[in-house]
Structure 1
Amino acid sequence: MKILFLTDNFPPEVNAPATRTYEHCVEWVKHGAEVTVITCAPNFPKGKVYLGYKNKFIQKETVDGVKVIRVWTYIAANEGFFKRTLDYISFSVSSFLAGLFVKTDLIVATSPQFFTALSGRTLSFWKRKPWVMEVRDLWPESIKTVGAMKDNFFIRYFERQEKRCYRSAKKIISVTDSFKQEIIGKGISADKIEVVKNGANLNLYQPMAPDHGLIESLNLKGKIILGYVGTHGMAHKLDFLMDCAKNLMHTNYHFLFIGSGAEREKLIHKKKVDKITNVTLLDSVSKSEIKRYLSILDVSLINLKKDKLFKTVIPSKIFENAAMQIPILLGVDGESRAILEQYQAGLFYEPENEQDFLVKLEMILQQEHKETYRNGGSRLASDFDRKKLAANMLTHLRGAI
């Protein structure tokens, strides 16, 4: 079975989409599939090409058995809607052109970069091969939710194209049950939609003793470390966590933010202007290094803007932190909350509610509950083992041929 996978995020990028695609593709190769990934030169989130790569028309490499074709794109930092859209469109065109010359039995295109789906749909037409749409975000709804763009002609055009993609895809793979229901609500048959949620690589993420050398180097000895690791974007509402930190400066709590994104410079500015002394902001670290930073956390913070759309998402951070058996303080309602509470891997607080955040923070650190959270995280991670999920998705892909 030959699979052509279109995605604009792939390692050495370390965000959730890159990790999901890479780990799935590697497992599919182990199960006998021949996988080719078309992606761009790694540049997320700063919009700068990584060392060792060039932004040229075609670059080829093999990564752990996966054939990777990198194509030229208009590269822009994750700042500014229109520049990012040009980036997306350029990848759509380049991936389509490169895909014309790849032999395959099946095309898979992943969102939320919606123009990737358009490329997959068009390739399917010209190559006369079935295609599968992987839905990792409800786009364009999400860009309206974070305020990047208001409802207008372009949004309505994208929404029409979204429905066309749903209808033309042989199968749709959704990352949440909520997304499936939303797609059904758009008039798409439930029979063509499968759900393959995110998970954790249990070979990489597992419980480990705190890295005391790292604690010393960050000058955090004796602190209660609350960590947010991931993209600093408009959807994540990290200024709320900064405000919480400001009001906890008289305590032993210290907030550790690790990552990059469109809002990072604003957070750095806010820390300086508000003179917030109990926050440390670090740039992104490699996937192999991140577990060292996770190991020093007393509590993992997962936060999103308060909006009904985000009740449909499940941040991948949940699974990685659960695998490390770190208590999770979750500011995301809906399906994410249901999973967290089902496994008792942490506590939920109402998004953007500082009083509830502070109450739950005190509760999650109570010694008598720590074993419950550790056990809950272990059970959660076991049920969302990335290897099992990858095998499940491969079964669905084979059914689409």
Structure 2
Amino acid sequence: MHILFLTDNFPPEVNAPASRTFEHCKEWVGAGHRVTVITGVPNFPHGRVYPGYHNKIWQQDEMAGIRVIRVWTYIAANAGFAKRIVDYISYMITSSLAALFEKEVDIVIGTSPQLFTTCGAYIVSRVKGKPYIFELRDLWPESIKAVGAMKNSPILNFFERLELFLYRSAAGIVSVTNSFKLNLMQRGISGEKIEVITNGVDLSKFNPVQPDEELKSKLGIAKNKFVAGYIGTHGMAHALETILMAAKELQNKPNGELFHFIFIGDGSEKKTLKRLANEFELNNVTFIDSVPKEEVVKYWGLLDVSIVHLKRTELFETVIPSKIFESMGMGIPILLGVAGESAEIVNSDRAGITFEPENPRELMDKLQVLRNNEKLYNQLKANGLKASKKYDRSLLAADMLQKLCKVASSNSSSQKALSEMI
């Protein structure tokens, strides 16, 4: 089977969408299928082309047996709505054109959150007469409203109508959460064509490691520190000022000097967070830029606790940040400031403890509990490692492949029956 995958994020970018797509496609190639990914040149999140790449009309390379086509796009940083829309539309156009030249395609996949990628997948599927799968990783444009980036307007209403059209047109939908599936069913989308395949972790890479003391020293983190870290995008949705406020309170507490916070990654809010840390006069916080994928495990290994946090809003009760699975794989207890489905996973697997989103005092209190209760800490660590086996990316990729094969086979049978009738 030849799988054609449209995604605007792909390695060497290191965000969750890029990782999920690459790891799934790698497994499908290993299972004997042809996979072609059409993407842009790596530039997330700063909107700057990575060294060694050029924003050309069309270029081809290969990664782990995956054929990768990179097309020209208008490049914009992950900040500012209007420019990013132009970025998305340019990718939709150039990826659709490039896809038309791909031969013997059996199925097309378009991944969200933004809808223009799935628009491209829909167009390509109609031209080629092949089914397309909508991979639903975020409820866009609802998430735009949730972070306050855009209010109700005719444009937003248009996007919501387009969203429903794309769901209905898809031969199948792969949702990363059960909450997303329920949301779609409540809006009239048949649950029969929706498959839930959560995010997961590549257990061949993410497993417990000893802290790199040389790296700690280089970063100015003393050996006796209890290190709490946030790894990932620093965006509006993450409300990371909550962690800085907890760091400020903890800095003035007895034994507060035993704690250190690290932020690893980039995003639209990073400059604001750095400025806020300076205003708070924090000496217990270190900011680190995004690191290459092959080095990220070494930085994970610095953490005693992984903080996962999102704004307190009803929409984010439906999401499951992929960082929780990587934390499990690394054997790092989770401090989760996200309500809803992700909290249910962390609590049921007993891989961490939760706190109220945007509540810095509760975050501080729970952090102290984890440091002071060694028995609880070690139990959470062991539970996370055990639970991670359920979220092994290779197993989840196999589940998604089964869905793709079923849809592609159904389409082939339908085409055969139609040709026999004619």
Q: CA shift at 1:298, angstroms?
A: 1.2
Q: CA shift at 1:364, angstroms?
A: 2.1
Q: Which residue of 2 aligns with 1:147?
A: 148
1:67 counterpart letter in structure 2: R
Q: CA shift at 1:354, angstroms?
A: 2.2
Does structure 1 residue 372 correspond to structure 2 residue 379?
yes
Whole-angstrom distance in 1 between the partners of 2:381 and 2:279: 38
8 Å Cα contact 2:247/2:364 also seen in 1 = no
Does structure 1 residue 54 correspond to structure 2 residue 54?
yes
Q: Which residue of 1 aligns with 2:259?
A: 253
Q: Which residue of 2 aligns with 1:382?
A: 389
Structure 1 gap segments, 5+ residues each: none
8 Å Cα contact 1:346/1:364 also seen in 2 = no
8 Å Cα contact 1:249/1:278 also seen in 2 = yes
Whole-angstrom distance in 1 between the partners of 2:345 and 2:131: 33
2:249 counterpart letter in structure 1: N
Q: Specify the structure having the higher radius of gyration (Cα).
A: 2
Q: Which residue of 2 aligns with 1:349?
A: 355
1:107 counterpart letter in structure 2: V
Q: Which residue of 1 aligns with 2:332?
A: 326
Q: CA shift at 1:273, angstroms?
A: 2.3
Q: Which residue of 1 aligns with 2:162?
A: 161
Aligned-residue Cα RMSD (Å) equals: 0.9
Q: CA shift at 1:48, angstroms?
A: 0.5
The alignment partner of 1:399 has SS state of helix
Moved >6 Å (runs of 4+) = none
2:229 counterpart letter in structure 1: G
2:291 aligns with one of 280, 285, 289? 285
The alignment partner of 2:183 has SS state of helix
Whole-angstrom distance in 1 between the partners of 2:67 and 2:309: 35
Q: Which residue of 1 aligns with 2:29?
A: 29
Q: Which residue of 2 aligns with 1:136?
A: 137
Whole-angstrom distance in 2 between the partners of 1:368 and 1:36: 48
Whole-angstrom distance in 1 between the partners of 2:195 and 2:263: 34
Q: Which residue of 1 aligns with 2:184?
A: 183
1:58-69 superposed matches below 5 A? 58-69=58-69
Q: Which residue of 2 aligns with 1:213?
A: 214
Whole-angstrom distance in 2 between the partners of 1:273 and 1:361: 23
Whole-angstrom distance in 1 between the partners of 2:216 and 2:361: 29
Q: Which residue of 1 aligns with 2:407?
A: 400
Does structure 1 residue 124 correspond to structure 2 residue 125?
yes
1:235 aligns with one of 234, 237, 246? 237
2:123 counterpart letter in structure 1: T
Q: Which residue of 1 aligns with 2:89?
A: 89
Structure 1 residues 352-384: Cα deviation after superposition (integer angstroms, max 9, x where no partner): 112321222122221111221122111221000
Whole-angstrom distance in 2 between the partners of 1:214 and 1:253: 17
Structure 1 residues 151-187: Cα deviation after superposition (integer angstroms, max 9, x where no partner): 1011000000000000000000000011100111110
Q: Which residue of 1 aligns with 2:344?
A: 338
Whole-angstrom distance in 1 between the partners of 2:383 and 2:109: 34
Give the TM-score taking structure 2 as reference length.
Answer: 0.94
The alignment partner of 1:9 has SS state of coil
8 Å Cα contact 2:131/2:170 also seen in 1 = yes
Q: Which residue of 1 aligns with 2:225?
A: 223
| Greater displacement, 320-329 / 371-380 | 371-380
8 Å Cα contact 2:119/2:166 also seen in 1 = yes
2:153 counterpart letter in structure 1: N
8 Å Cα contact 1:327/1:373 also seen in 2 = yes
1:220 counterpart letter in structure 2: I
Q: CA shift at 1:278, angstroms?
A: 1.3
| Greater displacement, 245-254 / 328-337 | 245-254
Whole-angstrom distance in 1 between the partners of 2:186 and 2:74: 35
Whole-angstrom distance in 2 between the partners of 1:355 and 1:279: 17
Structure 2 gap segments, 5+ residues each: 409-422
1:310 aligns with one of 313, 316, 322? 316
Q: CA shift at 1:239, angstroms?
A: 1.0
Q: CA shift at 1:346, angstroms?
A: 0.6
The alignment partner of 1:159 has SS state of helix
Whole-angstrom distance in 1 between the partners of 2:11 and 2:360: 36
Structure 1 residues 100-122: Cα deviation after superposition (integer angstroms, max 9, x where no partner): 11121100000002110111111
Q: CA shift at 1:288, angstroms?
A: 1.3
The alignment partner of 1:400 has SS state of helix
Q: Which residue of 2 aligns with 1:13?
A: 13
8 Å Cα contact 1:8/1:113 also seen in 2 = no
The alignment partner of 1:49 has SS state of coil
8 Å Cα contact 1:6/1:108 also seen in 2 = yes
Whole-angstrom distance in 2 between the partners of 1:160 and 1:293: 42
Whole-angstrom distance in 2 between the partners of 1:304 and 1:122: 34
Q: CA shift at 1:290, angstroms?
A: 1.0
Total equivalences in the alignment: 401
Whole-angstrom distance in 1 between the partners of 2:249 and 2:42: 38
Q: CA shift at 1:51, angstroms?
A: 0.8
Whole-angstrom distance in 1 between the partners of 2:86 and 2:189: 29
